[in-house]
Structure 1
Amino acid sequence: MTNGSKRTIDSILKVSGTGLIDGTGKKVILKGAGLGGHLNMENFITGFSGHEHEHRAALLSVLGPAKYKFFFDKFLEYFFTASDAKLFASLGVNCIRVPFNYRHFEDDMNPGVYKAEGFQLLDRIVDLCSQENLYVILDLHAVPGGQNQDWHSDSGTNKAQFWNFKEFQDRMVNLWVALANHYRDNPFIAGYNPLNEPADPEHTNLIKFYQRVEKAIREVDPDHVLFLDGNTYAMDFSHFPSEPFPNTVYACHDYSMMGFPVGDPYLGTGEQKTKLRRTFERKVAFMREHKLPIWNGEFGPVYASPSDDADFEHTNAQRFALLQEQLSIYRETDISWSIWLYKDIGYQGMVYVSPTSPYMQLIAPFLAKKKALNLDFWGCSDSKVRGVYEPFVQALKEMVPEHLRNRKYPNVWTFERQVERQVRECLLSEYMGWEMAELFRGKTEEELDALAASFKLENCVMREELNSILQDDARCR
């Protein structure tokens, strides 16, 4: 694909053996990034604390309906434009994963009545991508009740209630029918990712949901590929049926803690390389056994900045090396991938909002406080508040019998993780969200436009070394 040729994708992708092919039989390896923080907002991506619906509610209370709508309309417009699509194409990557929140399509007080603007928002992205011959994967990232226990499912709690209410599941099956009916003939849609990072404590509810949604989608769209995440945050396929779904790609997420502030630094040792490979192969054992295509839907390090790491350049050199090693593993067997993340305020993005922009200047003091309080799990350290929480958590642990401390799902989370998730990332983050909203009080529409425009590509900073690494790998297709 070249940036100069327009709309040359004219056939829907399909699964063939362990890979994907287009209508001519040509092998297609999808390589791209996730458009997180846009149609599904996340705290570390754009700077608020807690959950998206809480952030929106706090801003609505401060701005009022008219200015609230003006700001978010502009934010959604500026976050992804034709310039962003052109940048993707110029790097040689060929696919964008688009996470979206169900709230763009229906209201909880009016379920099943779909809002036209939800489809319009997706259509706009798909059209911009089609102008540059980019595939799009539609990713339902947040559902009623939350499909997992984390902030990015936008539930407001640390429980995945989606699995406890058939009504929630019915609504999302019906939403996918509407989406599949809308996009069924569109060749630029690489496929549908029905549920991001599900975390079903019983394991069986997820399988039943996949069986239902697969059948429902196929009735209106028999052609598009499905991209199905494994359970427990796309890492566990141990309970999946031995007979895979047809025309389906199974998706893992392959983050390495060596790419995060709390992990050991990546030094490129033989032991670390072996660990990377072993961990990845464990996640994709199901796909290997059944000779299925593999899509790594999320991975990527968090990058250090001068404000939090005096030796940030050295730290980032280690993390770029980690990324390159992961990509080399994926290249060996032509695995498709989608890095996390395209655009943010400086943690992981291929591009990020400039520190000198109106938006970053406005929220800088809040970001410093949020980081010091360790309100975001992603890319932060609790070093400044550890002394506050350690005695508290230790006291709580002593109240719970030892054999029960890791009983709460996900079992891979420690007792300490469960507490910080509930106390810091839910309760305290909600209070802090109101504090952030106050920064927007009294802003004029002109000022709000400038804040939203901080996210325009032309006003952002390129993470050049990351983009160079991705570009080099894209050439290996």
Structure 2
Amino acid sequence: MGFGGWMLQEGYMFHLGFLGQQYKIKGKITDLIGEKETAIFYNKWLKFHTQKADIDSMASWGFNAIRLPLHYRLFTLSVKEEPIKGQNTWLPKGFEMIDSLLNWCKQDHIYLILDLHAAPGGEGNDLAISDRHPDEPSLWQSKANQDKTVALWKKLAIRYANNTSIGGYDILNETNWGFDDPKDTRGTTEKRNIPLHNLFIRITKAIRSVDSNHIIILEGNGFANNYNGMFPLWDKNMVISFHKYGNFNNQASIQKFLDYRTKYNVPLWLGETGENSNTWFTNNIRLMEKNDIGWSWWQLKKMGINNPLEIKEPKNYQQFVDYCAGKKITLSKVKAEQILNSLLQNIKIENNIFHKDVIDAMFRQPYTTSTLPFKPNTISKNTFIKAVDYDLGRNGFAYNDADTASYMYTPGVHTEGNRGHTYRNDGVDIKNDANHQPYVFSIENGEWLQYTVSVNKTGKYRISYLTASKNNGGMINIFNNDKLFLQNLKVENTGNNTNFEASKTSSIFLKKGVNKIKIYFTKGGFTFKGFTLATE
């Protein structure tokens, strides 16, 4: 699992994608509360964001490695800040953070992979991922920045050469640069990649001069996917890392890398992937496991539903977002401090929202089509089951939805999974009502949801469903244990799709023990909030 957002903030992680770089976020905070208070804020951020409880939780879920994105400024000064040109001032903060994390990792038998995510000067034209300032020399435009990068890796290797909890050195994240063709801003069509190749060799020599133990992980240009000019490799203990986002999970999508593995006898690692739906996660992991490729997800926590942990928005956070966006808004220092202090509390794992559906999709669903209850549903006299609490499992087994994933980097495909982007990360579309209660919307013909319920006594039960619709066209079938019980139940017009009303009750037969009730949407076009089961 990648630890994005801890040592290096990217704007999109906190609904600040329009700002992008961390230094811009920091600048806005400084404008609001001052330099001293901003420094205190960031020290607390580094303390609270990732703690031992995060590592313990990851171990309990099944993770055995962490990829830690490093920001060079936690370890050394920038080139222009150095008091003596050409020398390196080493800062203790970053090293101390790694030491502490390594101690937690050792206790939980988890490897730590160091990933230089923000190199001196920045390694690409995607500015946010390396916190790059576009008006200053990049890594590729400054020998001094390259020298500092090499020196940083040697310093790290000296410190951790004999540490057996270190899994490897991921020496440069996602270069995206046009070396021969400046118009190739993403670096996807470069044919030679000579500066990248040369810097990799320099870093390797520096590491190997002090550390012959650890794996060196390479990432090509074009966001770790362009390996032109990288072969043959120059060290016997290397791994090729590729990154995978928003494309199909089929053999063709990874065949180029499988060919590299065969031709050059080098292991593969899917070093970064994710930012999608549970269905996409499951299918991606199935593809990797089938091809004997290890994987590292992105990321543990941020604002949003497609990670194991979700950071809740603080009260009035939108005011801070609006201020950062340059909107005409008055935000006092006191109010800003309240919002930011709440954010500091919300980043702690004990205050995060745990998305068990994401973990289930990653660790259980790749290996089985069986389903599990999302929540325990024991039927008593009058039990309401929320629409959004359908079973955990794959699409087509726990639920059926026509649009289950986002293919944002696949031309001509415009799907996104959960269009409401709340509560769960499956394909089912979920929104919150005015009282922040979730419901299912954008229901299409043939979609369905399954609910596992426990019944203490065999017999007839009354069932009614809570729906809203602006027309009379909706139709529902109800199955129990795959047997059709109720057919062509009408969804009444309630005036609009947010005015929920309970249907008339019908009778359904349930056996003692586990029952799997399927709400099948024969004709969609309405919204669904849940159903009630009651004893007759």
Higher RCO, Cα 8 Å, sep 6+? 1
Match of 2:100 in 1: 124
Change (3 A) 1:91 1:68: same
- C-alpha separation between the residues in 2 aligned to 1:456 and 1:43? 19
Q: Could you say if the C-alpha distance between residues 296 and 190 of structure 1 is closer, same or farther in structure 2, counting changes exceeding 3 Å?
A: same
Question: Which structure has the larger Rg?
Answer: 2
Matched ranges for 1:248-287 at <5 A: 248-257=238-247, 276-287=250-261
Query: Secondary structure of the residue that 1:338 maps to in structure 2?
Result: strand
The residue that corresponds to 1:165 in the other structure is: 142
What does residue 64 of structure 1 align with?
A: 34
- Matching residue within 353, 367, 377 for 1:461: 353
The aligned counterpart of 1:182 is 159
Measured against aligned partners, the alpha-carbon deviations of 1:272-319 in whole angstroms (never above 9, x if no partner) come to 55xx321222244322321211110111133xxxxxxxxxxxxxxxx3
Q: 1:45 — aligned with what?
A: 13
Counterparts of 1:438 and 1:291, CA distance in 2: 60
Residue 328 (structure 1) aligned to one of 283, 286, 290? 286
Distance (Å, rounded) in 1 between the aligned partners of 2:195 and 2:63 = 35
Structure 2 residue 223 is the aligned partner of structure 1 residue 223: no
Structure 1 residue 51 displacement after superposition: 0.7
Q: For 2:57 and 2:137, how far apart are their aligned partners in 1? A: 37
Equivalent of residue 68 in structure 2, options 90, 98, 104:
98
Which residue is equivalent to 1:77? 47
How far 1:201 sits from its partner (Å)?
2.0
Unmatched tracts of structure 2, length 5 or more = 180-192, 369-536
- Counterpart of 1:290 in structure 2 is 264
**CA separation of 1:159 and 1:279: change in aligned 2, threshold 3 A:** farther
SS at match of 1:442: helix
Contact persistence 1:149–1:158 (CA under 8 A): no
Per the normalisation by structure 1, the TM-score is 0.67
Q: Equivalent residue for 1:197?
A: 174
How big is each residue's C-alpha offset from its partner over 1:401-428, in whole Å with a ceiling of 9 and x where there is no partner?
Answer: xxxxxxxxxxxxxxxxxxxxxxxxxxxx
- Quote the Cα distance in structure 2 between the aligned partners of 1:167 and 1:190: 29
Consecutive unaligned residues in structure 1, runs of 5 or more: 1-32, 258-271, 303-318, 370-430
| Partners of 1:194 and 1:226 within 8 A in 2 | yes
Q: Which runs of structure 2 are paired with 1:328-367 in the superposition (5 Å)? A: 328-346=286-304, 348-355=306-313, 359=314, 361-365=315-319, 367=321
The 2-side partners of 1:293 and 1:224 are apart by: 14
Instruction: Between 143-152 and 60-69, report the one with greater CA deviation.
Output: 60-69
Deviation at 1:245, TM superposition (A): 2.1
Matched letter for residue 170 of structure 1: D
Q: Deviations over 1:184-219 (max 9, x none)?
A: 111111011110001242310000000000000010
Q: Is the 8 A contact 1:140 1:195 kept in 2?
A: yes
1:213 aligned residue (203, 206, 209): 203
Judging by fraction of residues, say which structure has more strand. Answer: 2
Judged with a 3 Å threshold, the aligned counterparts in structure 2 of structure 1 residues 433 and 209 are, in CA distance, closer, same or farther, namely: farther
1:89 aligns with 2:67: no
Change over 3 Å in CA distance of 1:193–1:433 after alignment to 2: farther
SS at match of 2:274: coil
- With over 3 angstroms needed to count, the CA separation of the structure-2 counterparts of 1:440 and 1:461, relative to structure 1, is farther
Report if aligned partners of 2:281, 2:362 keep a CA contact under 8 Å in 1: no
Query: Equivalences for 1:397-412 in 2 at 5 Å?
Result: none
Q: Which amino acid aligns with 1:91?
A: W
Contact 1:62/1:438 (<8 A) preserved: no
- Cα distance, 1:340 vs structure 2: 0.8
1:300 and 2:274 matched: yes
RMSD after superposition: 2.6
* 1:45–1:347 contact (8 Å) kept in structure 2: no
Alignment check: 8 A CA contact 1:93 1:470 kept: no
Give the counterpart of 1:145 among 85, 103, 121.
121
Aligned pair in 2 of structure 1 residues 290, 137: CA closer, same or farther (>3 Å)? same
**Alpha-carbon distance between aligned partners in 2 of 1:166 and 1:81, rounded to the nearest angstrom:** 37
**Does the CA contact (< 8 Å) of 1:144 and 1:168 recur in 2?**
yes
Q: Aligned to 1:296, what secondary structure does the other structure show?
A: strand
Q: 1:160 to 1:190 in 2, by over 3 A?
A: farther
Give CA-to-partner distance per residue, 1:195-249, whole Å, 9 cap, x none: 0001242310000000000000010111111111111110111221224521111
